[in-house]
Structure 1
């Protein structure tokens, strides 16, 4: 069992808050279009911070816990790339101006961190109290993997998002972004801008991703501190990674299939752990180093295969996948439904 002092927790959270504050200040003080060079520099910085933390963590608490951290970080980083797909769709759907995308992503990451912190605390408590939660988490991941694989060539329907539909129905919305403000007073009444709707969309999508990613990372470690830091450092680099790779995302045509395989693998790992503890100790478990190797191998194969596919077929386009089908349909005058072209 990992023994983390209150001081270590406080320093870690403080470091994450400082990094978030820097992002918020940059986004609020200097709205601008983030170029390739700036995105590359920030991406490298956040990766170095995450790796540096992992090296310190392994040296301080041992190689086993260090391996669990890096496995968790890679899992969360790979899942965060799927987040980027959805962010691109949201930005495109709502035509977010380039100079405001930095702000949207930073606030989205803050929302994601808050929600994941809540889920981490809840998940750790449930796992500590009820060992059968490993079985439930495993089944949840396998179900998610099957659904993601079935709908791997689809995009989530942002317009069908419950929170977005409710906000548009009950709140007055301005026609433009009004300098990146969330709300303004116009014609004697308070109105929200499209930026507020965008944040609702990203926040609700982040909630869905948290429901999958937290059980996934608990599949490689049961230490709340490792789960939290792996999530935090993966998400902190998400804003810069968005601007760095958004032009390349369309080429990762097999990413959704690869993520489905990773989620299914971790789901099996959780179920085997439950069976080892609650059924019979002779049932084997999957060790963390093997998990790390499998996850890294799947991501490598998926990336190479995707690039080869798009090189042979330039018309091939990647999709983030969806947990349920969202067919594009058009109601005809006679009441029938046909699939639109």
Structure 2
């Protein structure tokens, strides 16, 4: 079992908060359209930070835990790319100006990290108290994988988001963006801007992703520290990664299929672990090393196959995938941006 001292936790949290503050400053104090070179530089920086942390962590705690970290990081990074898909859909649906996209993304990352901290604590507590939660988490991931595969060629319906609809009904919203403000005044009345609605959409999306991603990473490791750091370092580079890959996301036509396979694999791993602990030790368990190999292979094959497919048929377009079918029918007036 991994033991991390209070000092180790404190230093880790301070480093993550420092990087988060850096991202917040870049994304909010000087709003601007991010160009390709800037996106590449920041993406490389955050990936390098995550890798360096993993190597240092493994050299201190051992490569068994280091392998768990890198497997968890790969899982969360792959899920975060799917998260970016939805961010792109939200940005397009609400026509967010490029100068303000950084601010939206940065607050989205802060919310995502906050939700994950809550679910990490809750998940770790449940797993420690009830061993059958491994089976529950496993079945949840398998169900999600099946739904994601069934609706792999669809995109989430942002207009059908309950929180977005409720916000529009409860709060008067302006038709135009106003210099990156969340709230403004019309004839002395306080009103929200579309940017506020966008943050509601991003936040509710983050909540849904946290419900899937935390059980997924607990399928790779039971160590709370590793779950937290894998999530944190995977999320920190999302702002730069968004601007780097948003033009390439349409080419990842098999991403949803690959993620469905990964989630199903981890779900089976969790179910086997439960059976090994609660039923019989003779039940085979999937090792972390095998998990790392499977995840890496699936992501590689998914990426290569996607690029080959798009090259053969340029009309192919990727979709984020959804866990439920898109509702049919005309768009409602209160859902329009």
Alpha-carbon distance in 2 for matches of 1:2, 1:207: 28
Match of 1:118 in 2: 118
Q: Do residues 203 (structure 1) and 203 (structure 2) align?
A: yes
How far has the Cα of 1:26 moved from its partner?
1.6
| Alignment map for 1:94-113 (pairs within 5 Å) | 94-113=94-113
Residue 268 in structure 1 maps to residue 268 in structure 2: yes
Separation of aligned partners in 2, 1:23 and 1:235: 11
Query: TM-score, normalising length from structure 1?
Result: 0.96
Instruction: String of CA shifts for 1:5-55, please: whole Å, max 9, x gaps.
Output: 111111111111111111111222211000000000000000000000000
Return the alpha-carbon distance in structure 2 between the equivalents of residues 27 and 263 of structure 1: 32
Q: Structure 2: how far apart are the matches of 1:25 and 1:305? A: 38
Kindly state the Cα deviation for residue 69 of structure 1 after the two structures are TM-superposed. 0.1
Cα distance in structure 1, aligned partners of 2:80 and 2:155: 16
Q: Which runs of 4+ in 1 moved over 6 A?
A: none
Count of matched residue positions in the alignment of Structure 1 and Structure 2 = 331
Whether 1:82 and 2:82 are equivalent positions in the alignment is yes
Q: Deviations over 1:146-188 (max 9, x none)?
A: 0000000000000000100000011011121110011112211
Q: Distance in 2 between matches of 1:73 and 1:99?
A: 30
| DSSP-derived class of the 2:221 partner | coil
> Counterpart in 1 of 2:169?
169
Give the aligned partner of residue 324 of structure 2.
Answer: 324
SS at match of 1:226: helix
- For 1:191, what is the secondary structure of its paired residue? strand
Question: What is the CA–CA distance in structure 1 between the aligned matches of 2:229 and 2:181, rounded to whole Å?
Answer: 31
Query: 1:189 offset after TM fit, Å?
Result: 1.2
State the partner residue of 1:42: 42
Q: Secondary structure at the match of 1:190?
A: strand
Aligned counterparts, 1:11-160, within 5 A: 11-160=11-160
Distance in 2 (CA, whole Å) between partners of 1:73 and 1:194 is 33
Counterpart position of 1:185: 185
Distance (Å, rounded) in 2 between the aligned partners of 1:118 and 1:85: 24
Question: In structure 1, what is the Cα distance between the partners aligned to 2:27 and 2:239?
Answer: 11
User: Could you say which residue in structure 2 is the equivalent of 1:338?
Assistant: none
Give the CA deviation at 1:235. Answer: 0.3
| C-alpha distance in 2 between matches for 1:329 and 1:166 | 19
Over the aligned positions, Cα root-mean-square deviation in angstroms equals: 0.8
- SS of residue matched to 2:184: strand
The separation in 2 between residues aligned to 1:328 and 1:243, in whole angstroms, is: 31
Shift of 1:327: 4.2
- Cα distance in 1 between the residues matched to 2:316 and 2:193: 35
Q: Name the counterpart of 1:227.
A: 227
1:294 equivalent in structure 2: 294
Residue 336 of structure 1 corresponds to which residue in structure 2? none
Matches of 1:291 and 1:51, distance apart in 2:
18
Secondary structure in 2 matching 1:185: strand
Q: Please say which of residues 292-301 and 8-17 is displaced more in the overlay.
A: 8-17
Question: Which deviations, in whole Å up to 9, do the C-alpha atoms of 1:104-123 show, x marking residues without a partner?
Answer: 00000000000000000000
Deviations 1:130-154 (A, max 9, x none): 0000000000000000000000000
Please give the per-residue CA displacement for 1:217-242, whole angstroms capped at 9, x wherever unaligned: 00000000000000000000111100
